[in-house]
Amino acid sequence: MEQLRKAKGFICDMDGVIYHGNKILPGVKEFVEWLYRESKQFLFLTNNSGKTPKELQEKLARMGLEVDEHHFYTSALATAEFISRQSPGAHVFVIGEPGLYNALYEKGITLDDTSPDYVVIGESSSYNYDNICKAVHHVQNGARLIGTNYDLTGPTEQGIMPACRAFVKPIELVTGKEAYYIGKPNPLMMRTGLNMLGVHSQEAVMIGDRMDTDIVAGIESGLDTALVLSGVSTRETVKLFPYRPRLILNGVGDIPD
């Protein structure tokens, strides 16, 4: 635990680590206060593409947590950055929430449901049969398929619910084309997070609730790793993976000394 506490940089997942839905998790306020008190560099790096950093900041504020906007980075921002670098001025067909639309707009990417260069799928309450058919049509016509993140499920106040990969899978199955997933565990997002913090991977720790995204992303990027049991993964499911987090904690409230 002392090794973790001495880290200069902390990259933390949000869903299942900081909150479930609109409910803050135990010990989070004390953890955030500790990060500020110890002058740690930290980033809330979330695979959820639905909200902008400003919306995430306001969400935490409603829960009683005051965190500066620059401490947030989302898979929507990472997706927009990737597409803008690969194909500046690209046209995209999107199934997603405002955070994804806003990120793409800010990078000069045009929405197009006629002949897009990319089909981009994120979490969405507007996901329906009509949108799936449009996405399939565009991919069959040559559009490249992008998933904002690799999460199959996500924790909510109502329990475990479908997430991005569950929405992408029908399109993959029908078209025979595999999506490229931008969020964790893709090293693209982790490298960006480390650059934002200004710390080396050996001086940073990844804290998450998922073995298949958070922990493997930390391991493959050379970070120390801590799994919290406040979200998706459990002590039993940890045994199903060939890799291990260095620490398993009940929640981030275990970290402050």
Catalytic residues: 13, 15
Cα Rg of the chain, angstroms: 18
Q: Where are the alpha helices (DSSP H) in the chain?
A: 2-5, 28-37, 53-62, 75-86, 98-106, 129-140, 164-175, 187-197, 216-220, 235-238
d(CA 16, CA 12): 10
Written as six digits, the tokens of 126 are 């507007």
Of 38, 46, 36, 54, give the one whose Cα is nearest residue 208. Answer: 46
Q: Are 34 and 67 in contact (CB under 8 A)?
A: no
> Tokens for 2?
């002392």
Q: How many C-beta atoms lie closer than 10 Å to residue 235's C-beta?
A: 9
CA distances from residue 47 to 1, 184, 252 in whole angstroms, order as listed: 26, 6, 18
Query: Which letter, b or e, does each residue of 34-50 get, where b requires 16 or more Cβ atoms within 10 Å of its Cβ?
Result: bbeeeebbbbbbbbbbb
Q: Which tokens belong to 128?
A: 């329906």
Alpha carbon dihedral 168, 172, 177, 179, in 10-degree steps, equals: 20
